[in-house]
Amino acid sequence: MGILNVTPDSFHDGGKYTSVEAALRRCEEMLSEGADLVDVGGESTRPAAEPVPEAEERSRVVPVIEAIAKRFDQPISIDTMKSGVARAALESGASIINDVSAMTFDPLMLDVPQGFGAAVVLNHMRGAPRTMQQNPGYENVVREVRDFLSERVRLLASLGVSKDRIAVDPGIGFGKRLEDNYTLIEHLEEFDVLGCPVLLGHSHKSFIGKTPGLENSDRLHPSVAISVYALLKGASILRVHDVKATFEALRMVESIRKSGFQAPGA
């Protein structure tokens, strides 16, 4: 999943793709590099981010989604917590709702997927983007995140959204301490019990820069390393900025795993 932020303030690439033309060029680049789908966002959800009015968010994403849908066949995801933005995006050509609040921020969001047959990404977040990193704490982060996501999956299922249309995201960096992020990635396979594809959104996040020895990293190589580790832990979808580097690393791992090579005498 290639990240396309059409925002002026996203932490990694804010301001680069705010015009439709720039967004289309970036989309084409990511797809040529190996992205299977593109996630379009019009509101930054970085820690301490200020909320964006719905009309402004909608005006950022709709023209971009319309342009992408006209030119490319790959699925488009809308990264939003607002039902009005999600509806407008789906009407414009998106087919996936990626809601970092797991559809808790806007209760009307629960009514949106079925009307469009849309797929859904449910992300765990403790608090809201503006406050989520203010002293988060867990007794057992894997169990607590898994239980929350399990409840949201059951709720969506009761509304007619089947598990094959739901992906779950443990929410790296969304109200998590450094060690919580490590623990969630290390135990990613424990989310398989939910019966949904697991998505990991870790790319270039601040916990990488808080890792000893990586304080001055540009976060590219650590992000790719996490992608490879997450693949080996069973992740189905990797939400990344650096599509080319990630695709090449995953292709190498998959080629080795599929080779079936047996050493002499093995």
Phi-psi region of 207 (alpha: psi -120 to 50; beta: other; left: phi over 0): alpha
Tokens 């996203």 correspond to what residue? 10
CB-CB contact of 19 with 59 (8 Å): no
Nearest alpha carbon to residue 40 among 244, 118, 48, 67? 67
152 has catalytic annotation: no
Which of 26, 60, 126, 205 is an active site residue? 205
d(Cα 209, Cα 186) in Å, to the nearest integer? 18
Residue 195 sits at the vertex; the CA angle it makes with 192 and 200, to the nearest 5 degrees, is: 55
Residue 38: beta bridge partners? Answer: 2, 76
As to burial, measured by CB atoms within 10 angstroms (0-12 exposed, 13-18 middle, 19+ buried), residue 49 is middle
CB-CB contact of 78 with 96 (8 Å): yes
Nearest alpha carbon to residue 226 among 174, 172, 176? 172
Amino acid in the structure at residue 246: T
16 has catalytic annotation: no
d(Cα 151, Cα 15) in Å, to the nearest integer? 36
Which of 87, 152, 165, 239 is an active site residue? 239
Tokens 């304080």 correspond to what residue? 215
As to burial, measured by CB atoms within 10 angstroms (0-12 exposed, 13-18 middle, 19+ buried), residue 37 is middle
Tokens 């820069």 correspond to what residue? 209
Query: Active-site residues: which are they?
Result: 205, 239
